[in-house]
Chains A and B, each alone.
Chain A
């Protein structure tokens, strides 16, 4: 920036305005510079946190590969420039033939041939180098994969160490026991909690209820409605008393179907 100001002085300008322009230039030159710096540092501060990614490591193998690749580059460059030289010699030979200078044309062709054999040799070398590089790459890859698999195998072994057959058997046994227990509990819960006597009573009561309901389809018959009405209260009474007096219930049960059944044939 200093030299920039120096040039400013050489610029033709009125003596009065010179100082002013110089001052101006100083501030204009400084302002963009500082703002650029500020922007750059701001960007750096913003960008600073994300690169937590590891640094790229360069191994001796990488360096060796680089050396081989550099050799390849040189061969390629050699081939390129020799190709150019061949084309030049060819051009020269053509021109000389046109001019009738056959001896010199022959020399040019000779030179071209010599270069051609060199290019062919370089091509072969190039192919060998490429082969070597491909070999290095695939071998390095195999090595990496094998190392990875070894690591994986170690982890697998570590994981399997505690996994014995006995442990699995024991686990399965325990699970089976637990399942058995669960089944029993389920059975118990599902088992009928009533005694057989109670069961009989319930059955009887159910029959009774069914008997009371049976006449309903026959309601259409007017002659039976009176009988039904008359029997209904007694039936109801029977049902309500059935809880406390099962024997009475039993007599009612035998009576009721008869009363109910009789209207149907009539």
Chain B
């Protein structure tokens, strides 16, 4: 797996990193280091949705070499911090904090990538289905190819806020489409 090629920073092999630090300044630093690492790790794996149970058991939070692991509740705490930073979003449909959508690229950045593609390929003013944008052969090779549906929607919503796109339903189907300016 490509995952094994991920290079962990030094603090990952530092035992105190796995316990919540009592001193506030130290803890803030600790949390910030972990949040950055979580983003880098998810980006490396290409993960959009992170399952708490899975990630807690992953090599991100388990360091067998120093016999340390992050407790499940601390993992959720860290993801809460990531959400507070604006770099992630809890699954609103799921019950509780079991899944988290991680923004190693912000929705606005994803939106920009999509819009650049639209501009470059002269598809302004044309209607596209979300499937077409995400999964068709046309967008193969684009960074947003196979982008998670929820993340794509957030990205398009950011474009909508900037009046660069409109998301709408078909006359007969409830499948969403998008029209770019």
Contact = CB atoms under 8 A, between A and B. Distances in A.
Partners in one complex: yes
Interface of B is mostly: mixed
Contacts of B136: 73, 76
A69 B28 contact: no
A214 interface: no
A29 interface: yes
A70 B169 CA distance: 10
A77 to B, nearest CB: 7
B4 interface: no
B20 A32 contact: no
Interface of A is mostly: helix
A24 interface: yes
Interface in A65-100: 65-67, 69-70, 73, 76-77
B166 A55 contact: yes
A185 to B, nearest CB: 61
A66 B168 contact: yes
B132 A56 contact: no
A137 interface: yes
Nearest to A77: B131
Contact of B81 (A32, A56, A69, A70): A32
Given A53-B163, A57-B166, A69-B129, A7 B171 contact: no
Interface residues of B, number: 40
A70 B84 contact: no
A56 B20 contact: no
B85 A32 contact: yes
A56 B173 contact: no
A232 interface: no
B11 interface: no
A69 B128 contact: yes
B9 interface: no
B129 A36 contact: no
Given A4-B77, A73-B175, A54 B170 contact: no
A40 B76 CA distance: 24
Nearest to B80: A4
Nearest to B24: A24
B38 to A, nearest CB: 15
Contacts of A27: 24
Interface of A: 1, 3-4, 7-8, 10-11, 13, 17, 21, 24, 27-29, 32-33, 36, 40, 47, 51, 53-58, 60, 62-67, 69-70, 73, 76-77, 137
